[in-house]
Amino acid sequence: MAELEEGKEGAAVTKSTMEAAGSIPLPPLRLPCQPVSSHEHKLNFGKSKEMCLNFIQDAMLQKQWNRAAEFLTFYAEALEKDFSRDYMGPSEIIWRIGTEILCHHSHSGMKEFNSFIEQMKTFGVKRYLKVCLEHSFHLLCNGLVDEAYQNLSLAESWRFGEHTAIRDKEIKLIQAYKGLLDYYSWSKQKNILLEHDEDEFEDLSVEQEMHSYFRKAAVNLKEIIKIPGVWDIFVKCYVDLLEFYGDDEEARQVLSEYAYNSKFPANPNAHVYFYQFLKRHGESKKSLISALKILHDLVPSHELMIDFNTMLQKSKKRKNRRLGLQVIFAVLDYAGWKENVKAWSCLARQVKQIVISDKHPDWIEQEWDSRKDWWPAFHFSHYLAKKNWQENKSLSYEKALVAGIILGKDCKYFRYVSHQGCKAQAKKFRILKKFVNKHIPVHLRISGLSDSSVQP
């Protein structure tokens, strides 16, 4: 019966598409394989099934959705003999392909889609939860949040089949998404309350509803973030809930668990959330620095490293300023930061500071030591000097400053930029030139020392 319905469904689709395709005359559909005799056909059933699938795929990959739909109606026959123990049986194939076609088909609406999926749910018992989840995704993406919620609730209460690890995961995920939707409802209610709060408006029922949403959301969200994984959105929502109700301890624990539990993947966002939480709650500089230090070790190229560098530069501790230099040098190692003015100005500022104060030029030396063989080609080539000058003058200024101090005034980059700058009568560049000329000894020291360090 199921396949009959599927056939009907497919046929309906076909009919509508044929009508729709009236504008583009297509040659009549040729059956992929003409069955020679029924006996032979039976023998070749598996083969022709495979062929039909190939045709469907082919049409889909060429975006001929109407055509694929027509072929799919033939493929529905494959359900007749679905005794396969394959990982993916025909029912799942039909579900996948049908969904895809209906998503792209010009003449399918939400109604057709829903009825198709309902059928799919009935004969894809093994994959029931997956189909449900995907169905809710479809509804969510189309803005039908309430329907999606209903769907998720139905799926959650489904109790058939054997318990497998995959199924447990899927159930957890369904619950988590349900919790997420509860959270959105909660936050909607919260906003209503907050808005009306100003008007001294109080509605107990709204507030109660909000709390009930909170409870539902919190239970489900709490569950999912116990499993190792990337749960950024769930964690964020859960922490938001907790913070609203003032449970900062729990929130902190959740976040630190999410960031520092070794079973979880090394997700930079986990550290970012933790850092932001600490910052929101006005934690001490020390704890902020230690949070960011860990992030620096994990992802030296993270955008927060600029903040980190500024924070460290302001620090009174020598160790921290030293770390700041390391951080900004490491940031600029990455191709993604190559043309970032902010990062270069951070480095330029710190290098300038060091040179002017004449304290710890060895810091620059040590940082430079591991970069001297590739930074000149990577950052300070003549080509880049030209390009940066054309595209971004302030970038080339910052870079020229660093190049001038570290590589000396004969460095190609510095020479080109200062020359162009002086030609353009920019005062900034003249000062730069003077500054670099004044601090030649620093460069000599860096290069001299680095030379001697090579010798042993």
Q: Footprint of other proteins on residues 58-77 (CB under 8 A)?
A: 58-64, 67, 71
What's the closest the beta carbon of residue 101 comes to other proteins, in angstroms? 9
What's the closest the beta carbon of residue 168 comes to other proteins, in angstroms? 10
Q: Are 105 and 14 in contact (CB under 8 A)?
A: no
Sole residue written with tokens 């619950």: 175
Q: Say how far apart CA 397 and CA 185 lie, in whole Å.
A: 51
Stretch 197-226 residues interacting with other proteins (CB under 8 A): 224
244 binds other proteins (CB under 8 A): no
Q: Say how far apart CA 437 and CA 223 lie, in whole Å.
A: 63
Q: Please, which residue, 20 or 230, has the CB nearer to other proteins?
A: 230
127 binds other proteins (CB under 8 A): no
What's the closest the beta carbon of residue 266 comes to other proteins, in angstroms? 6
Task: Tell me, residue by residue from 143 to 182, as one string, x for binding to other proteins by CB under 8 A and - for no binding.
Answer: x-x-----------------------x---x--xx-----
Residue 29: how many CA atoms within 13 Å on its side-chain side? 17
Q: Are 337 and 327 in contact (CB under 8 A)?
A: no
SS3 324: helix
Q: Please, which residue, 187 or 366, has the CB nearer to other proteins?
A: 187
Q: Please, which residue, 75 or 363, has the CB nearer to other proteins?
A: 75
Stretch 10-29 residues interacting with other proteins (CB under 8 A): 26-27, 29
Residues with Cβ within 8 Å of 44's Cβ and at least 6 positions away in sequence, in order, are 33, 35
Q: Say how far apart CA 89 and CA 92 lie, in whole Å.
A: 6
Q: Which of 4, 219, 266, 444 binds other proteins (CB under 8 A)?
A: 266
Q: Please, which residue, 151 or 187, has the CB nearer to other proteins?
A: 187
Q: Which of 6, 9, 53, 354 binds other proteins (CB under 8 A)?
A: 53
83 binds other proteins (CB under 8 A): no
Q: Say how far apart CA 379 and CA 438 lie, in whole Å.
A: 23
- CA proximity to 135, closest of 181, 92, 99: 99
254 binds other proteins (CB under 8 A): no
What's the closest the beta carbon of residue 281 comes to other proteins, in angstroms? 19
Distances (CA, A) of 448 to 173, 266, 378: 61, 41, 22
Q: Say how far apart CA 413 and CA 403 lie, in whole Å.
A: 7
Q: Say how far apart CA 302 and CA 203 lie, in whole Å.
A: 45
Structure tokens at 295: 């992030």
The stretch near other proteins (CB under 8 A) out of 311-319, 366-374, 401-409, 424-432 is 366-374
Residue 306: how many CA atoms within 13 Å on its side-chain side? 11
43 binds other proteins (CB under 8 A): no
196 binds other proteins (CB under 8 A): no
Q: Which of 234, 275, 416, 429 binds other proteins (CB under 8 A)?
A: 234
Q: Please, which residue, 96 or 349, has the CB nearer to other proteins?
A: 96
What's the closest the beta carbon of residue 187 comes to other proteins, in angstroms? 6
CA 352 to chain centre: 37
What's the closest the beta carbon of residue 117 comes to other proteins, in angstroms? 10
Q: Which of 138, 415, 433, 439 binds other proteins (CB under 8 A)?
A: 138
Name residue 264's amino acid: F
The stretch near other proteins (CB under 8 A) out of 5-13, 378-386, 410-418, 430-438 is 378-386
Burial class (CB in 10 A: 0-12, 13-18, 19+), 123: buried
Q: Please, which residue, 232 or 250, has the CB nearer to other proteins?
A: 232
Q: Say how far apart CA 385 and CA 154 lie, in whole Å.
A: 63
Binding residue count for other proteins, defined by CB under 8 A: 86
SS3 411: coil
Q: Please, which residue, 363 or 375, has the CB nearer to other proteins?
A: 375
Q: Which of 76, 78, 140, 442 binds other proteins (CB under 8 A)?
A: 140
332 binds other proteins (CB under 8 A): no
What's the closest the beta carbon of residue 15 comes to other proteins, in angstroms? 18
Q: Are 91 and 82 in contact (CB under 8 A)?
A: yes
What's the closest the beta carbon of residue 331 comes to other proteins, in angstroms? 9
Stretch 390-449 residues interacting with other proteins (CB under 8 A): none
Sole residue written with tokens 């700058």: 421
What's the closest the beta carbon of residue 276 comes to other proteins, in angstroms? 10
Sole residue written with tokens 């976040």: 255
CA 405 to chain centre: 39
